Every structure is written in C-alpha cells, then in structure tokens.
Chain A
C-alpha cells in the first residue's frame, strides 16, 4: 500500500508510539498532582511547550494544549469574540477549514459582522480585496497557513500587516494545521497572535494539539473546570498525547531536511504527469514559492475524482478527493470552485499529500498508476 493522504492524517513515528506506550505504562500520573512522579510529567510537558514555542517564534508560556486543530480554532475565534465589548467585524478567507468557517459564523449570532476574503485563481488570498475588506472596525482576522486542498501557502504576514495598519489592536489568527513544521512560522516576526496546530498531521497522535496565544490576546475560556492552562482550558492533561506530540516535534525538527525534500518528491510526481494531456495542477505549481512541499491537487479531465480515487485504491494507492472532510460529505469543494474551476473540473480533482514515510519510488509507482487509470477511465466517459 502506498499512503498518499498525509493531510488527512499521518502514520505516527515509531518514537511517538514508544513515548505513548511509556507514558501510559509508566508516566501515567496526573500532571497536576503534588508528588514527584507527577512533577516529572509536568516537566516533560513543559519541554514540549518549549519545543513548540521555538518552532513558531513564541514563548514557552504562550503554548496552550488542546485536543487538536478544531478546538484551537474554536477557542481562538469564540474566545476573542466573547471578550469584545463593542460590535466589530471578523474577517476570514473563503477557503478556511470548516473548523474556522463554521465557528466564525457563530460570532454573527453575538452581533458581530463576518467578512470573507476572496482568493485568486492560484488559490492564494487576494491581498487587494483583503485590503478593502479590512477596516478600523476589524477586530479579528483569520487565515490558514496552508490550504488543505491545494497546498497554497497563504500570505499571512502581509494580511497581518494590512490589518494592523488599519487597526493596531486587531487579533490575527492562523490555522496552522496543514502548515506547522512543514512551512516556516514565526509569530513574532509575522505578526500572528493566535496559531492553532495539531499533532496527528506531523506523525503524532490524534486528539492532541496546541493553540499558541501571544500575551497581548485576551481570551474567554470555552471549557471550564479545574482551571488547567491558566484557566483557559480546563480538563486533566492528556499527558500521553502531549508527550507524544513532543516526540513528533523533536523528530520533525531532526528531519527538517527530509521535510524540505518532500517538495522534490512532489515535483517529481508532477514531472511524471505534466506531459499527459488533460492532467492539471490546481493552485500554485510545484516549486513555486507559494507551494507547500507536501500537498498536490490534481485534476484529470473528464474523470470524476471519486472514480479516480477508487481506482487508485484498487491499485493499492490511497489518496483523497478534494479534502477528506469534504469527500465524506461528497459536496463539491468550495475552495476549488472559489479558484474559478468549473463544477466538472472541481469534480475531477484528487489530492495527493506526502509525509515523511513516503519515498521517491512511490512517486513513480503512483504516477504510473495514475497515468494507467486515467487512460483506462477516459475510455469509458459518458457520451
């Protein structure tokens, strides 16, 4: 089996599995307890905060553990909205993950206005339009770091600059689920106030992640209870998950060169396919500065993405159509439609996403099968 759906989730590193087992069998203590073994767990958790902080240009005490990306986005958006005294507007891009889009719709009910930034045909937020949308009443801007559907790196730094020029107090939130440790992030330098990340996209376990919260941000807790995480996120620490997240961060950092090399694999795959008539890349071309190293969105003219996906599965290659969340509902990707693709083109899309367990040979094998299946399936088009 060749697994090319790493944006849905990744296979955990062996180091992650080892740490999980150890922390469940030996270091199972409640990190908030008073005795030494619990304190040791707390220290290991602190090391995890530090490692994440280093990766995103923040301070150790700005890292807040969550259950993953969705919770981070919810806490960021609702947490800010509930502290605002005056009616304001919230801005996000039209291609945000549902964790942001659905949540930001909820702030409308609190009386705030929601504005949506359009994207261009390259899958990147249109900065000119963004400058027009954002004004002095904009309290919150949210933009994903990397599009989960096309791998387009979004200009979050520019967006933050535009927003801050209009309103110095604006809060900038970035959903970093698809970007964390695959595309650089420095919250301080880039002007990002809130950054949500998830462990299972970087070969860690599911059910754990973090929201990095710069000190200037005031948040209202969405979960109350024992007062963990400075009262912002109550609930017994998922120490096994957090320690495993740390192991994943460490290994990703140690293998940074391999992460960068994913871009070469992606480019190779495209190299093999670009000569085939009817195959297209959606979003930035591999090698482009705005193209994340691990996600490639491909369209096969006249063949529905779902059929291509099934056929590839039959050949032992796992990919997704659009994004995994969207393919479950089987609705046409709004991101792809936003980029100006026709319904039929959007229907004909699959997403290939790479992780550190992939090898160059797999790109060749995948390309061979894609070419073969495309030829076969094109033969039986609806007349």
Chain B
C-alpha cells in the first residue's frame, strides 16, 4: 500500500487517431514537472499515475500546473484482492471528515467479484458504521470517496483542479509581446494553455525604464515558464526608436507608430524562433492604441496572425485571471514599463491608415529596426 497521485486529463480524450501523440507529450510534461520532487510517472488505463515523490503537496501543485491536466487526486494504491482491507482503508480515509458523503466506484477489471454498485454499497456501509459524524447523501454530498478497481485498487477523496488545456508543444509556437503590465502575461498564458510554445519579446527603454523594470519582466516570464517550460526572451533596446518617433512624428500618432514598430520587430524575432503568430494583451477599447481602428493600423504591418486572447475581456476579468495564474503580484510592482514620458496627451483614437503611413515616412525604418535587432539581448529561461 502506498500513496500516489492520480492525474486525470481532459480534452486529450477527444482526440482520435493521434491521441497517443498528445498523451506522450502530456506524460513527458508531467515527468518534467515532477523531476525535482523525484516522481515516477506512468500512463495506464486512461490515467496518469505519479509515485515515489518526496513531497506530495509540491508534487500535486506542480502536476496541477501542467497544461492538459484536468484534475489531480491523492490516492491510496493497494492490493485489490482483500475487499475487507479496502473497506477498512476507506474508513481511515474518511475519519477526519465531517458532514455528508457518498462512494463512487469504477471497475475496469470486469473479472472483479464485486460489480460497481456492490462496491459502493458495501464500502459505503462500512464507512457509515465505522466513522461517526458522517451521513450519506447521494445527491449533494460534501465528500466523494472514489474507489477504482484496476490492476490495483485506488482510493481517493477530493481532487484539485488542473489548468486544463492541451499538452505543451502540440500546437506550434507563438511570440508574446511581454510588458511589465497585468495583461500580457495573462494573454501569453491563455495561448500557451492551448499547447502553444512561447517565446517573448520585451521592449526596454533605458534610461526611461530601469534595470529593475527589466528584471520584473523576466520574473513574469519565469512565472509563465513554470507552466510552459523553456522559453527565450528577447530584450530589445527601444529608446532610440521612441526618440525618433517623438521627434519626427505628430504627437497624436506617436503611441500608434510605436506599436507598429513593436509589431514589426516582434515578427522578426518570431520568425527567427520558429513562431507562427504573435500574441498581445490587447483588449478592445482599453486604451487609445486598442480601439478598433488602432488595432487595424497595427495589424497591417505584420505578415502573420496576431492572437489577442483578452480582446473581449474586462480589466477586472483579466486581473482575476492574473491572480489565478500568479502573475498579479509581480505585475503590480511599481517599476515603470512603457515610458509614460513619451505618451502624448491626446492620442488619436480613430487613426486613419493612410495618415499613419504618411507620418511614418519621415523615419528611417530599416536602419532603426536593424539597430534595435542588433542590440537585442537574448535570455534563456526554464
């Protein structure tokens, strides 16, 4: 008898002929996630099992963060031969609990002498008679005791929800425009959750932003990499471009033109890194550069899809997500990110593409972009 983790997966189930590919990826990621806590991981009978870890809580936390995992339970694995022992163990598991309960049973070993209803009845009866303070409620119980009969018997109470999604690396790669704010890490998370690998581009405006501001962004990237593994962060020196724009372009268009440059440079690094799309944290109408016209203006300079998973979300919803993912606290640190010194007082909210293109003509785009790419610092995380 030993304690193990029982890991259920979600959407991978829906896959057809290529399900083994998805499952292999998922198992690999569970292995990666538990490597430091010493877990042994295997796939059997529609479940992933983790055993031999040295810290069960930490192992559980890590596994629950693997994309593709639906839920995780602590379970007792024991010999299925002695049903009385199983009942005794069930009572032990339930002893600390109060309130109502029911027993659910599942039997994949169809030769087992008891069928599922019998298992439920007998184990439930044993618990009810031996654990004071518990009552049966099959409709809306406080606790569910799960008994599964497979190669062994598995007993578990309760579960923690996983992050769901698809196994990392099953859906290509995209490049996230990562600032120090609340939105972009959430946007990156949402796309990564669909099994998309990430790389990040960050624009650094020294001296308008400090070394600490850059470190904050890297901290955010580290939190993301806890979910999505290894990633590369490109830190692009952006001050020169901002100053040129500030000097040569009309005030009301500076932010928009700056966004267009960010997109252009991100596309260069995306292609370099094998990514097929860009990700931004834009939400419609949140600020002047995120109106529909403005989004149209930034779209036209990029030759790959731009994913904006937050597009229909309110700020409060985004914050809720950020708190859940664990990026909120870092995002709220006070270091300046995109230099407010350059934000115009009255940015255009309904920019026209032809006017923006015309305004940009004064800039030596090629040279500016080449210099920024040349000066970029590449940081490997995870």
Interface residues of A (CB under 8 A from B): 304, 306-311, 313-314, 329-330, 373, 377, 380-383
Tell me if B208 is interfacial: C-beta within 8 Å of chain A. yes
In the complex, what residues of B have CB within 8 A of residue A306's CB? 210, 336
Q: Kindly list 17 other residue pairs between chains A and B, CB separation below 8 angstroms, not including A307-B207, A313-B210.
A: A306-B210, A306-B336, A307-B341, A309-B207, A309-B210, A310-B210, A311-B207, A314-B207, A330-B334, A330-B335, A377-B207, A380-B246, A380-B341, A380-B342, A381-B341, A382-B340, A382-B345
Q: A373 CA to B340 CA in the complex, in Å?
A: 18
- In the complex, are the beta carbons of A310 and B341 less than 8 A apart? no
Q: Which residue of the partner chain B has the closest CB to A310?
A: B207
Q: A311 CA to B341 CA in the complex, in Å?
A: 14
B88: min CB distance to chain A, Å: 50
Q: Which residue of the partner chain A has the closest CB to B239?
A: A380
B322: min CB distance to chain A, Å: 20
A322: min CB distance to chain B, Å: 13
- Show 21 A/B contacts (Cβ-Cβ < 8 Å), sorted by A: A304-B341, A306-B210, A307-B208, A309-B210, A310-B206, A310-B207, A310-B209, A313-B211, A330-B334, A330-B335, A373-B207, A380-B246, A380-B341, A380-B342, A381-B341, A382-B340, A382-B341, A382-B343, A382-B345, A383-B344, A383-B345
Tell me if B243 is interfacial: C-beta within 8 Å of chain A. yes
Q: Which of B209, B210, B211, B243 contacts A380 (CB 8 A)?
A: B243
B329: min CB distance to chain A, Å: 15
- In the complex, are the beta carbons of B334 and A329 less than 8 A apart? yes
Tell me if B299 is interfacial: C-beta within 8 Å of chain A. no
A302: min CB distance to chain B, Å: 10
In the complex, what residues of A have CB within 8 A of residue B208's CB? 307, 310
Q: Which of B210, B334, B342 contacts A382 (CB 8 A)?
A: B342
Q: A365 CA to B151 CA in the complex, in Å?
A: 77
Q: A256 CA to B163 CA in the complex, in Å?
A: 64
Q: A314 CA to B208 CA in the complex, in Å?
A: 11
B246, B247, B340, B341 — which one has the most chain A CB atoms within 10 A of its CB? B341
Q: A373 CA to B334 CA in the complex, in Å?
A: 24
Q: A377 CA to B207 CA in the complex, in Å?
A: 9
B contact face: mostly helix, strand, loop, or mixed: loop
B26: min CB distance to chain A, Å: 42
B97: min CB distance to chain A, Å: 41
B33: min CB distance to chain A, Å: 34
In the complex, what residues of A have CB within 8 A of residue B340's CB? 382
In the complex, what residues of B have CB within 8 A of residue A307's CB? 207-208, 341
In the complex, what residues of B have CB within 8 A of residue A377's CB? 207
A304, A307, A313, A383 — which one has the most chain B CB atoms within 10 A of its CB? A307
In the complex, what residues of A have CB within 8 A of residue B211's CB? 310, 313
Tell me the residues in window 299-344 of chain B with beta carbons closer than 8 Å to chain A beta carbons. Answer: 334-336, 340-344
Q: A284 CA to B251 CA in the complex, in Å?
A: 40
In the complex, what residues of A have CB within 8 A of residue B335's CB? 330
A375: min CB distance to chain B, Å: 14
In the complex, what residues of B have CB within 8 A of residue A304's CB? 341
Tell me the residues in window 208-225 of chain B with beta carbons closer than 8 Å to chain A beta carbons. Answer: 208-211
Q: Which residue of the partner chain A has the closest CB to B243?
A: A380
Q: A329 CA to B332 CA in the complex, in Å?
A: 12
Q: A380 CA to B245 CA in the complex, in Å?
A: 10
In the complex, what residues of B have CB within 8 A of residue A330's CB? 334-335
Q: A383 CA to B208 CA in the complex, in Å?
A: 16
Q: Which 3 A-B pairs have the closest CB atoms?
A: A310-B207, A311-B207, A330-B334
Q: Which residue of the partner chain A has the closest CB to B209?
A: A310
With A306-B336, A382-B343: A314-B206 Cβ-Cβ less than 8 Å: yes
In the complex, what residues of A have CB within 8 A of residue B334's CB? 329-330
A373, A380, A383 — which one has the most chain B CB atoms within 10 A of its CB? A380
With A329-B334, A330-B334, A380-B246: A313-B344 Cβ-Cβ less than 8 Å: no
- In the complex, are the beta carbons of A313 and B341 less than 8 A apart? no
Q: A373 CA to B246 CA in the complex, in Å?
A: 17
Q: A377 CA to B341 CA in the complex, in Å?
A: 10
Q: A330 CA to B335 CA in the complex, in Å?
A: 8
Q: A356 CA to B209 CA in the complex, in Å?
A: 31
Contact flags (1/0) for B71-110 with A, using CB distance below 8 Å?
A: 0000000000000000000000000000000000000000
Q: Which residue of the partner chain A has the closest CB to B335?
A: A330
B40: min CB distance to chain A, Å: 45
- In the complex, are the beta carbons of A313 and B342 less than 8 A apart? no
A301: min CB distance to chain B, Å: 14
In the complex, what residues of B have CB within 8 A of residue A311's CB? 207
B41: min CB distance to chain A, Å: 43
In the complex, what residues of B have CB within 8 A of residue A373's CB? 207
A306, A314, A329, A377 — which one has the most chain B CB atoms within 10 A of its CB? A306
In the complex, what residues of B have CB within 8 A of residue A310's CB? 206-211
Q: A5 CA to B208 CA in the complex, in Å?
A: 20
In the complex, what residues of A have CB within 8 A of residue B341's CB? 304, 307, 380-382
Q: Which residue of the partner chain B has the closest CB to A329?
A: B334
In the complex, what residues of A have CB within 8 A of residue B209's CB? 310
Q: A381 CA to B247 CA in the complex, in Å?
A: 10
In the complex, what residues of A have CB within 8 A of residue B344's CB? 382-383
A308, A330, A377 — which one has the most chain B CB atoms within 10 A of its CB? A330
Q: A317 CA to B343 CA in the complex, in Å?
A: 28
- In the complex, are the beta carbons of A313 and B251 less than 8 A apart? no
Q: A310 CA to B243 CA in the complex, in Å?
A: 16
A37: min CB distance to chain B, Å: 44
Q: A229 CA to B341 CA in the complex, in Å?
A: 53
Q: A329 CA to B334 CA in the complex, in Å?
A: 7
Contact flags (1/0) for B339-375 with A, using CB distance below 8 Å?
A: 0111111000000000000000000000000000000
Q: A307 CA to B342 CA in the complex, in Å?
A: 12
In the complex, what residues of A have CB within 8 A of residue B247's CB? 380
A210: min CB distance to chain B, Å: 33
Q: A382 CA to B339 CA in the complex, in Å?
A: 10
B99: min CB distance to chain A, Å: 41
Q: A330 CA to B333 CA in the complex, in Å?
A: 10
Q: A122 CA to B335 CA in the complex, in Å?
A: 30
A297: min CB distance to chain B, Å: 20
Q: A373 CA to B344 CA in the complex, in Å?
A: 22
Q: A309 CA to B209 CA in the complex, in Å?
A: 10
Q: A98 CA to B344 CA in the complex, in Å?
A: 36
Q: A235 CA to B345 CA in the complex, in Å?
A: 58
In the complex, what residues of B have CB within 8 A of residue A329's CB? 334
Q: A304 CA to B334 CA in the complex, in Å?
A: 15
B339: min CB distance to chain A, Å: 8
